[in-house]
Amino acid sequence: MSKVEDFLTKAEEQEIVGAIGKAEKNTSGEIRVHIEKQTSMAAIDRAMEVFRTLNMENTQERNGVIIYVAVKSKQFAIYGDKGINEKVADDFWNCTKDAMQNHFQHGNFKQGLIDGILNAGEQLQKYFPYADGDTDELSNEISMGE
C-alpha cells in the first residue's frame, strides 16, 4: 500500500463516518478517526499530537476521542481528552483496543474501526450521555496525514 488513501475505499470511509454519527447519537462525546502512513513516535504520543493539531480539546466537556492509525507502521492508539480521563479507569479503552486489534490482525481494517467507534460510543455514553441540545462539535470526517 503506497498511499494512505489506499487504506480504505471511499465506500468504507463513508461506512466509518456513518458509524461515528451512530456512536455519537447516544453520547455528548466526540469521536474522530485519523489515518496516516507511518509514525516514528509511539502511537499514543502521535495520537496526542494529532488530537491537538485537530483542535479536539475544544469541546465543551473535554470529551473528544481520537482513534489514530499509522498504516505502514502497523500501529494504532486511542486517546481521550481530559474530561474523559478524569472520570474513567486507566484501562478504560482496553476492550475497544482489543476488539480493533483482533480485526486488524486479520486485515479487516474497516470492521475494526467500526467496532472500535461503536464500542467507544457505548463506553462514552456511561459518562457523557446525550442530552437535548447537544451539538456535533467536531467533524465526523476521517482526517488523513501523509
Instruction: Kindly report, residue by residue over 35-72, the tens digit of the pLDDT.
Output: 999 999 999 999 999 999 999 999 999 999 999 999 99
Non-local CB neighbours of 113 within 8 Å, separated by 6+ positions: 16, 19, 33, 67, 69, 100
pTM: 0.93
Instruction: Check pLDDT > 60 for residue 99.
Output: yes
The cell for 134 is: 447537544
Cα 139 to Cα 107: distance, rounded to the nearest angstrom: 27
